[in-house]
Amino acid sequence: MKKLCIIAFSVLASAVAISASDTMPVYLDPSKSIDERVEDALARLNTQEKIDIIHAQSKFCSKGVARLGIPELWTTDGPHGIRPEVLWDEWEQAGWTNDSCVAFPALTCLAATWDPELSLLYGKSLGEEARFRGKDVVLGPGVNIYRTPLNGRNFEYMGEDPYLASRMVVPYVKGLQSLGVAACVKHFALNNNELNRHTTNVIVDDRALYEIYLPAFKAAVQQGDAWSIMAGYNLYDSQHLCHNARILNDILKKEWNYKGAVVSDWGGAHDTMEAITNGLDLEFGSWTNGLYAGASNAYDNYYLALPYLDLIKQGKVGTDELDDKARRVLRLIMLTAMDNCKGNGSMCSKEHYDAARRIGHDGIVLLRNENYLLPIAKPSARILVVGENAIKMMTVGGGSSSLKVQREVSPLDGIRSAASSLGMSVDYARGYVGDITGEYNGVVTGQDLTDSRSAAELIAEAKTKAAQADYVIFVGGLNKSAGQDCEDSDRASLSLPYDQDNVIMALAEANSNLIVVNVSGNAVAMPWVKKAPAILQAWFLGSEAGNSIADVIFGHVNPSGKLPFSFPVKLTDNAAHHLNAYPGTKRADSEIVDLEYKEGILVGYRWHDTKKIKPLFAFGHGLSYTDFEFGKLSADNSVMTADGTITFTIPVTNTGKMAGAEVVQLYISDPKCSVMRPAKELKAFDKVWLEPGETKNVTLSIDRDALSYFDADKHEWVAEPGDFIASVGSASDNIKSTLKFKLK
């Protein structure tokens, strides 16, 4: 399609050119390479025009060059749906009536699918909605590593493991960009909590930086070819990430040879000279502090606007950096706004709803299922649904990823419609009242969740109804309000809010057929875990939430999700909190909060396995309605040569009665190494679908990169010759077979 477009366009263009006497200018000619077009355009720009295109002109767009027919650039949130239109210089709604979207599951759910194919589908679907809305850059995906369960934005990211996040972010970027819509991978880097997000100065050793916090960004730009990247609000080396010499110049642009554009987070730039020299290319949302204060339409006062132009006019700075910034921004515009062959996209299509529902299906994690309580199949079963999260809209709120959806099927509605078609009855009890608000930036849920009854009355009602039901489904967890799963705030504890633990314990007393559905983007404490025979981790699933959940509960879909992050039993079982390495210490003489990542590389299961602290549920854990049997692990070689690979094979059989999928995970250990290494590290995985009785030989290949650690002193990756162990299983705490091999 794209090729055809280009031919058609250049035929038309050359026709125009002939009639227009001279040939088409290179910068407009889609048959020329992007680099040729960029250089040609750059040569035509004057200094003012170069300054114009490297900073915002409104909340979400930056200037083009009208004189040359170079269009302005439109950005939009968010990673799991296209944000409703806001006013030119406000966060408030523009009041459009045709900008309701499909909300796709939040990215923790996508990561939990462990299925790169779904990630490609996700990126394409989102790209179509962005294209339809005329957007050139989607401000996402986010791939900050899950370091603390309290981080308010973990729901937007892809978990605790750099390899899983790397594998899952690349197809999303490729899918999105196949529509001519740029990804803007965020928040680069080390933005791992929201508390003090503008002032936290992260202190982390190079080994953890390179092994844990950079890989997903590196994969997104090198394998995914992300056309832009968003620098975070926080600081590193006491320098803001939006103009951080080490992260942006030394690592991103030199070591990784990045040719794309670095976009500031909104209000993330703080200094003109640093912004000039330290790698910022496109500034959004500063001076007016980009968020909620300052003069309106103050875009000429941005650090890369008049202040920069003045320095040039005064001869205090040259224009080399300006040319580099303008080059990168021109490239971004040409790849997106000037690509005339990317189609018109589509919005709220059946395909997008189907994609949202399917990603929900494959991302929901079955944490527990004692005696196969699930799926519910009892004819004419009487079901009681309890909990505010069964009815509360979750697509509004949470910060910049908040959406205005065309529809959102609630868990209660999804369960009701599925049950009724199965001849089952469904009743509802509120159980508790949490947060009855429902508005963000002028988008309102329209729900009235008020309930004046006391907690005791609510629990009494739920208990009474539970005693008369065959099954009780408690739908609780977190929500998108401040202090929950929400930008610009962190949770204060690992516990469920609103006294939900009491409600769950009361329900367990009244009915042993209790199913708990935890709607959250974060781990939560589960003191009642043994009282709930079935537990589903259900994420923020977007427009099709209720249908995805019901499809799993009633067995229309066999759950196959695996946790992208560990659930600690208690907060201090998590590395950062065990070492009191959160939220950091405020400096006496400034606003800056120094936060040292004392755990180094031991993040998540790396910590739990190495320190032998058993998690409540482990990274990679997820059950199925069927059973899988793993055979013996074998390898095509017992020795890996320096530039060679090793391919492992393990037979997996579906020994149950239901078709299902298993994620076969390969972890590598380096038992004798000159440096401390985690007990094991994820280095390959494959998701396989098996019919009942079917066996597949799953193969997983690795090369020496998978055996390497980052030697900070040598500043290079090192794989020490000697013995290694390959461990293959269905979870990080469920290894089925191991095999020793050597690196020569």
670 binds ligand GLC (CB under 6 A): no
- Give the nearer residue to ligand GLC in terms of CB position, either 186 or 358: 186
Beta bridge partners of 383: 426, 471
- Show the site string, 86-125: x = touches ligand GLC by CB under 6 A, - = not: ----------------------------------------
Residues 244, 237: contact at Cβ < 8 Å? Answer: yes
The answer to the question of residue 465 lying near ligand GLC (CB under 6 A) is no
CB distance 102 to 38 below 8 Å: no
SS3 assignment, position 246: helix
CB of 79 to ligand GLC, least distance (A): 8
Q: Which of 52, 77, 128, 388 binds ligand GLC (CB under 6 A)?
A: 77
Task: Kindly identify the residues of this chain, within the stretch 391-410, that bind ligand GLC according to CB under 6 A.
Answer: 400
Is 186 a binder of ligand GLC (CB under 6 A)?
A: yes
99, 128, 211, 265: residue in contact with ligand GLC (rule CB under 6 A): 265
**Looking at the DSSP assignment, which residues form a beta bridge with residue 93?**
86
β-strand pairing of 716-718 with 228-231: unpaired
Type of residue found at 298: A
- Please report the DSSP string for 31-74 in residue order: TS-HHHHHHHHHHH--HHHHHHTTBBSSSSEE--BGGGTBPPEE
Which residue has 């391919």 as its token pair? 647
Considering the complex, state which of residue 167 and residue 187 has its C-beta at the smaller distance from ligand GLC.
187
Taking the complex as a whole, how short is the minimal distance between the CB of residue 535 and ligand GLC, in angstroms?
31
Please state the closest distance from residue 552 (CB atom) to ligand GLC, in A.
Answer: 30
Shortest Cβ 582–ligand GLC spacing (Å):
19
Calpha distance 18→14 (Å, rounded): 6
Residue 398's alpha-carbon distances to 172, 232, 439, 479, in angstroms, are 22, 18, 10, 8
Of 264 and 732, which CB lies nearer to ligand GLC in the complex structure?
A: 264
Decide whether 199 or 574 has the Cβ nearer to ligand GLC.
199
* Least spacing, CB of residue 727 vs ligand GLC, in Å: 36
Site for ligand GLC in 120-139 (CB under 6 A): 139
Q: Residue 723 has which token pair?
A: 């013995």
Alpha-carbon gap, residue 176 to 130, rounded angstroms: 9
Of residues 68, 126, 697, the one with CA closest to residue 326: 68
Task: Give whichever of 265 and 490 is closer to ligand GLC, judged by the CB atom.
Answer: 265
Q: Which is nearer to ligand GLC, 401 or 522 (CB)?
A: 401
Q: Which is nearer to ligand GLC, 298 or 449 (CB)?
A: 298
Give the DSSP H/E element, type plus range, for residue 174. Answer: helix 162-177
Token pair belonging to 41: 């355009």
> Toward ligand GLC, which CB reaches closer, 199 or 500?
199
* Residue 404 CB, nearest approach to ligand GLC (Å): 15
The token duo for 690 is 């098996």
Site string for ligand GLC, 30-69 (x = CB under 6 A): ----------------------------------------
Strand order in the sheet with 235-236: 239-240, 235-236, 200-203, 593-596, 585-586
C-alpha distance from residue 669 to each of 194, 476, 555, 678 (Å): 33, 38, 37, 7
- For the CB of residue 282, give the shortest distance to ligand GLC in the complex, in Å: 13
Taking the C-alpha atoms of residue 94 and residue 91, their distance in angstroms, rounded to an integer, is 9
* Token pair listed for 135: 């957007």
723 is catalytic: no
Per-state percent for the chain, helix, strand, coil, to nearest 5: 30, 20, 45
Residue with Cβ nearer ligand GLC (440 or 471): 440
Token pair, residue 579, equals 């070492």
CA–CA distance, 473 with 257 (Å, rounded to integer): 52
Work out how close the CB of 269 gets to ligand GLC at its nearest, in angstroms, rounded to a whole number: 13
- Is 117:171 a contact under the CB 8 Å cutoff? yes
CB of 402 to ligand GLC, least distance (A): 10
Bridge-based pairing state of the strands 722-731 and 660-669: antiparallel
How many angstroms separate the Cα of 599 from the Cα of each of 147, 205, 240, 571, 690? 10, 10, 23, 15, 39
- What's the min distance (Å) between Cβ of 52 and ligand GLC? 21
Q: Which of 136, 161, 265, 551 is catalytic?
A: 265
Nearer to ligand GLC among residue 194 and residue 573 (C-beta): 194
Report how far residue 98's alpha carbon sits from residue 353's, in angstroms, rounded to the nearest whole number: 17
Which of 157, 172, 227, 266 touches ligand GLC by CB under 6 A? 266
Q: Which of residues 527-586 bind ligand GLC (CB under 6 A)?
A: none
The site for ligand GLC, by CB under 6 A, has a size of 6
Please give the backbone phi and psi of residue 417, each rounded to the nearest 5 degrees, phi first. Answer: -70, -35
Question: E strands of 576-711, at which residues?
Answer: 585-586, 593-596, 628-630, 634-635, 639-640, 645-654, 660-669, 681-690, 695-703, 709-711
Tokens of 349: 């299509």
For the bound state, the minimum distance from the C-beta of residue 198 to ligand GLC, rounded and expressed in Å, comes to: 10
User: Which is nearer to ligand GLC, 400 or 558 (by Cβ)?
Assistant: 400
Tell me which residues touch ligand GLC (CB under 6 A): 77, 139, 186, 265-266, 400
Active site (catalytic) residues:
265
